[in-house]
Chain A
Amino acid sequence: MTFVIAMLVPLLFSILEFGSALERWLAQDAATVQAARYAGEIGGDGAEVRSLIANQLRSSGIDPATVSVEIVPARVGWREPVRVSVASEYRVAIPFLFTTTVPLRSAAISRGEVNR
């Protein structure tokens, strides 16, 4: 019985853990796309964009404190591209096998809409 459990439990946890990681990645991607659109609208980096990302992540069950956000360039002109990158790490723990962290990276590009 121990042998059976030792084989089947890691399989079950692999599905659960990696499924959870993919769900988190999807949520992070969605927040990044929204943030890119908003960054283009307000002309680059700003407290509003970072607040939007934090709120979106929080609503998906992700702690914003564990996520790094980069908005390049910080100040974007009309019709110039602005890129938002969000990165985090997700800890995957499979009983009897291994524990590791999976890097989750999301990025999206929008275009500046502010005519300075």
Chain B
Amino acid sequence: MSALRDDRASAAVTTVILLPILLVVLAGVLQLGALRVAGARVRAAADLATLVAVNDQDDAELARTGALRLAGDAADVAREYFARELELSAPLLAASPSEIAAAADIAAYPSAPAVDARTGARYDRPAVRLAADVPLRTPVFGALAFREVTTIGVLAVSSPR
């Protein structure tokens, strides 16, 4: 009976000692989950921005030759919509959406075939490629002696069909 009581007391003490560590682990897990959601949002923002940019065709070229060719402002449209999409997740970002979009490396390849100077990828159709480093707030990581800002890289490529 005494041994059982000792075991119970020992379990309670162990729990009290381990509780701070478990709370830290819990906070880290939750922050990791939030980072996962933020990362998915940023990737979706980049995807949507490039999709919107390639949906607009050069109508004159299409009427003249029947070939798909991107509109002349495709890269600007991708940048504008990337900023708009990021604006919707502004509280998660560690920089302003317009700054992130302005710093993004966006390239339009109006006609195919083309080779991406950054990735080396070959595009058999017109394409818009967006590459950006997006800084995300991770305050819990900061409190746990890691970085307060976690930067994730996104790469999105879209082509018209």
Which A residues contact B (CB, under 8 angstroms)?
1, 3-4, 7-8, 11, 14-15, 18-19, 22, 25-26, 29-30, 33, 36-37, 40, 79, 81, 107-111, 113
Contact = CB atoms under 8 A, between A and B. Distances in A.
Given A22-B36, A111-B77, 20 more contacts: A1-B8, A3-B12, A7-B16, A8-B22, A11-B22, A11-B23, A15-B26, A15-B30, A18-B30, A26-B36, A26-B40, A29-B40, A33-B44, A37-B51, A40-B55, A107-B88, A108-B44, A108-B88, A109-B85, A110-B51
A7 B33 contact: no
Given A19-B33, A29-B44, A40-B52, A109 B84 contact: yes
A109 B26 contact: no
Contact of A36 (B37, B40, B48): B48
Interface of B: 8, 11-12, 15-16, 19, 22-23, 26, 29-30, 33-34, 36-37, 40-41, 44, 47-48, 51-52, 55-56, 77, 81, 84-85, 88
Contact of A18 (B33, B51, B52, B85): B33
A14 B37 CA distance: 17
A111 B55 contact: yes
B88 to A, nearest CB: 4
A18 B15 CA distance: 22
Contacts of B29: 15, 19
Contacts of B11: 1, 4
A10 to B, nearest CB: 9
A4 B52 contact: no
Nearest to B88: A107
Nearest to A32: B44
Contact of A7 (B19, B34, B41): B19
Contact of A81 (B19, B22, B84): B84
B40 A109 contact: no
